[in-house]
Structure 1
C-alpha cells in the first residue's frame, strides 16, 4: 500500500523522532511511503490526482489544508479526515462546537477589534489567540486595559478566552482510543514535560472531542480550574513527544486504518499493540 505524509516545513530542519521511527516501522511492514513538504513542492493543479491509498495530514499550513481539501474532493482517503482537520484548525469553530456539545471550555468571545474588549479586561484577564493559529504563535495574555492598549493590532479575527491561572498544563495525546497525559510547566514547546496518570474525567473529555470532530490522531491542552478541567486547545496529529511507545502505537493505528474499509473505525484496542511494543523494545 502507498502512503503519502503531508508534512510541515520545520525551522530548524529537525526531524520529529516519533515520525522517523513511525516511518521505519511502516516500511518494515511493507508500506511504500512518500514524504512531501508543501513549501518545497510545485504542483500543477490540473494534473493533481489521487495516487496513494492514504494521505496522512501532519501539517497545519494553509497550503497543505488547501491541497488536502482537493484530495478529499477527489475521493482520496485522509487521516485525519479533512472536515475534522478543518474544524479543529479554526479555533473559533472548534471552541463553539465543543461548548455546544457540553465539553468544558473557558468563557470565550470573538472580535476583529481588540478595543471592544476593554470592559471585559477590566473585570478579568484574557488570553487572545489567532483564530487559525498554532504552536503557540501569536498568543497574548492581557491583564489590564493598559496592556490591551499596548497590544499589537491583529491582522485576523481573534478568539478571546478567560485566562485561567495555572502553574501546570496537561498535554493530552490520543491515538485511536488510547489516551496519554503529560504535565508541563510554561507555554514553550520545549518546556520539560513528564508522564502522569490520567483521570477518568480527562480521558472522557478527550474521547468525546475525538467523537465530536471525527478525529483519530489528535491532542488537547487542558488546564485545571475551580470547576474542573477545561479544554484550552485542540489540534490534529500533534508531536507525541515523550509519549511512551508513540511510534509503535501510531504505526499500528495507521496500518489498521489504511488496510480497513473506508467506513470502518479502527478497533478501540488493537490486539497487535502489545506484541508490536514487545518486538520493538
Structure 2
C-alpha cells in the first residue's frame, strides 16, 4: 500500500510519527513537495500543504483517481473566511458574524471595538482587535492592501478553545487568544477536556465542511459556543494519540479504496525514511 504526503515540512512531528507508524504496518510512504510531480498515484494522499501549488497538485491527483485527505475543494474553502462563515451559518453552526470589508485601507469601520482578519486564511495573516481610529491607522500602515473581513468583538476569557479532529477523534487544549495582550502568560494550557456538547459541535463541523482532519477554534468564556475559525489539516502538536489517529485514517481510506497492500516499509519517491525515526531529507 502506498500513502503520499503533500507537505512542505515532512519532518513535522505529527506527520513524521504517523509516517513511522504506517511504515511499520508495511506501507510505502512517499513525500511529494507542493510543486512536485507524481507518476503513478498512490492510493491515498494526506494534504498538509495549502499553497496554490499544493491545491493544484491535489486536484490533479483526484482527477486521476487518488483519494486526497482533505479534498482540494474542502481545503480551499477553509482559506476563504467569507465562504467559511456563509457555509457554517447556513448549516446552523454558531459561527461569528463575518462581513467582507474589501481592502483594509478602504474599510468603513463598524462600531468599536471590532475584530479585523485577513479574508484569506494563511500563516502569519492579519488577526487584530481594533479599539479605535489610532489602532486602525496603525494596521493600515502595514496591511493597507489586504483584503479583510470584520467580526464583532466578543468578550471572553482571553483564551481560545482549540479542538482538533482526526477521523472522528477529538483532541483539545486551550490557547491564548491572538486578540489578547502579551502579558507573559504561557501560550498553551493543557488538561482541558471539552464537554460532550462541544465535542459534538466539533464533529458536526467536519460533516458540514467535508473534512477528516481539521481544527475548530471556539471563543472561551462565552455563554454559548461561538466558532471563530475552522482550519483544514492543522498541526495537532503535542496531542497524544494524534499520530495514531492520522495513520489509522490513511489506512482506512486506502482500504476503502479497495487496493491490495504493498511495500516493504520504506520511504520512496521524493523523500525517504531512513530507519528508526530519522528523517533522511529530500531524495534525489
**Which of structures 1 and 2 has the larger relative contact order (alpha carbons within 8 angstroms, sep 6+)?**
2
Greater helix fraction, Structure 1 or Structure 2: 1
TM over 0.5: yes
Correspondence 1:1-281 to 2 at 5 A: 1-9=1-9, 15-38=11-34, 41=36, 43=37, 50-114=40-104, 117-120=107-110, 123-152=111-140, 153-166=143-156, 167-187=158-178, 191-224=187-220, 226-261=222-257
TM-score, normalization by structure 2: 0.80
Check whether the contact 2:3–2:250 (CA below 8 A) recurs between aligned residues. no
Task: Encode CA deviations 1:143-192: one digit per residue, 9 max, x unaligned.
Answer: 1123223322443421221122331111101012211210122439x923
5+ residue gaps, structure 1: 263-281
Task: Encode CA deviations 1:250-276: one digit per residue, 9 max, x unaligned.
Answer: 1112111111138xxxxxxxxxxxxxx
5+ residue gaps, structure 2: 259-284
Task: Encode CA deviations 1:47-96: one digit per residue, 9 max, x unaligned.
Answer: x6552111110012121112212222333211112221121122211111
Residue 117 of structure 1: CA displacement? 4.2
Check whether the contact 1:19–1:247 (CA below 8 A) recurs between aligned residues. yes
Structure 1 residue matching 2:220: 3-state secondary structure: strand
Structure 2 residue matching 1:229: 3-state secondary structure: coil
- What value does the CA root-mean-square deviation take over the aligned residues? 2.3
**Count of residue correspondences:** 249
**2:275: which partner in 1?**
none
